[in-house]
Amino acid sequence: MGDEARLREAGLRVTAARLAIMQTVREGDHLDVDAVHRGVRDRVGQVSLQAVYDSLHALQRGGLLRRIEPAGSPARYETRVGDNHHHLVCRRCGKVTDVDCAVGHAPCLTPASDAGYLVDEADVIYWGVCPDCRSEDAR
């Protein structure tokens, strides 16, 4: 299904900026808002940062984008949604890498106590040092 159909299915208006955001995020690697804004401007010309923020929020609410917020890092966006995957984050360079669900079915991890919540998602971030930064250490 194409982006236009996905937008319509989510009840969102199809605009050039939203299509450019979807394409930019899909082709990027866990992009922050500034990188998305640059990618959208390259594709459609002038677009305000506020319009990008508004569209990112709408696309997230519509289930078309996922927002992750590693501690100490700006929010980042990806198009991989609905599978409850997790992330590896490099402590040095900030690179983010997808990692499939730890085990079992979503939400992958069962809390010791759910405190009455109906848990439907687990958001796990593994922290470490990426292979590129580790190879720099070896030099």
| Residues of the binding site | 90, 93, 130, 133
Binding residues for Zn(2+): 90, 93, 130, 133
Cα dihedral value 111, 100, 40, 11, nearest 10: -60
109/82 Cα distance (integer angstroms): 16
Instruction: Estimate to the nearest angstrom the gap between the alpha carbon of 43 and the chain centroid.
Output: 20
DSSP string, 17-55: HHHHHHHHHHHSSSEEHHHHHHHHHHHHS---HHHHHHH
72: burial class by Cβ within 10 Å (0-12, 13-18, 19+)?
exposed
Cα angle, residue 115 at apex, residues 111 and 119 outer, rounded to 5°: 55
